[in-house]
Each structure stands twice: as C-alpha cells, then as structure tokens.
C-alpha cells in the first residue's frame, strides 16, 4: 500500500469534492468543498491535499501550518482528515496518518495538534494508537490531542 499526498489542482478538485464520509460521520467533519473554501480563505496557513493510495484518490487532508504564530506549541494542526466512505476499513486512514506525521516532521514541526468531538470514537482510537495524547484543552466543543515529534 503506497499512500501519498498530492496537491489539489483543477484536474483532481472535482473528484475530491465527490468524496464523502459515512452519514453518521458527517457531524464530525466539514465537506471537502467547505474545507477547500476554508483553505482559500486561509491561504497563508492552510495546506490541503488529496490522499492517494496506489494512484487512486481515497481521501482528503488539510493542515494549518502557521510558522509565524507566537506559541510554538500551537503552530501545526491536523485540521482535516477523511477517507471516503467506500474506502473505509481498509487501513487507508492509519497509513495516511503515518504519511501526514512524516510530512510534519519533514517540515520542521515539533508537534501536531488536532481536535475532534469526544464521540468520534473511531477517529480518536486511530489518533491515540498513533501516539496522540489528550491535552485536557477544549477547542469549542472538541477535545484537543497532541503528538510530540
């Protein structure tokens, strides 16, 4: 299984917008089109990518990468991570997370933070298995997790 992150372009943007999570997961993550719009509004820090496995698009991820932010522990966020509902259960999320963590390491991050609702048990399990730890902080109604690199 070869997972890679590819920039979103005119050629793959429509396909990315067609990816969806399962109905019961929609409460946890914005659509990819909404995420793309948020990226456009935050171009200075947002880094959106399509997730490919063996050349096939399987998901979407987006980072908030703010090297100018005063607090070095709040500069790098895994803002979005989704795998299409038809591709879930095949290990793509876990493998994509490894690639994402390596991306952050390669770009000089000393930690990664993310937030999600406490009821998002599937995602929380994956993040915790990858080494993310609860910080005790809240981001609106979401718990914050951090992985020290």
Domain residue limits, the chain: 3-148
CB 149 within 8 A of CB 112: yes
Token pair of 124, please? Answer: 């929380």
CATH superfamily of 3-148: Gcn5-related N-acetyltransferase (GNAT) (3.40.630.30)
**DSSP for residue 110:** S
> For the segment 1-44, what is each residue's pLDDT rounded down to a tens digit?
999 999 999 899 999 999 999 999 999 999 999 999 999 999 99
> For the segment 125-144, what is each residue's pLDDT rounded down to a tens digit?
999 999 999 999 999 999 99
Instruction: Decide: helix, strand or coil at residue 94.
Output: helix
d(CA 11, CA 65): 24
> pTM of the full predicted structure?
0.93
């Amino acid at each position: 299984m070869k997972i890679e992150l590819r920039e979103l372009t005119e050629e793959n943007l429509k396909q990315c917008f067609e990816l969806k999570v399962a109905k019961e997961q929609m409460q946890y993550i914005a659509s990819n089109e909404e995420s793309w719009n948020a990226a456009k509004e935050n171009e200075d820090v947002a880094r959106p990518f399509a997730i490919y496995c063996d050349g096939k698009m399987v998901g979407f991820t987006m980072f908030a990468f703010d090297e100018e932010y005063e607090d070095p522990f709040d500069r790098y966020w895994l803002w979005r991570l989704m795998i299409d509902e038809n591709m879930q259960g095949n290990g793509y999320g876990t493998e994509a997370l490894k690639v994402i963590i390596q991306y952050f390491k390669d770009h000089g991050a000393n930690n990664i933070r993310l937030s999600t609702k406490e009821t998002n048990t599937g995602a929380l399990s994956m993040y915790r298995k990858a080494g993310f730890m609860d910080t005790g902080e809240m981001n609106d109604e979401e718990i914050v997790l951090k992985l020290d690199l």
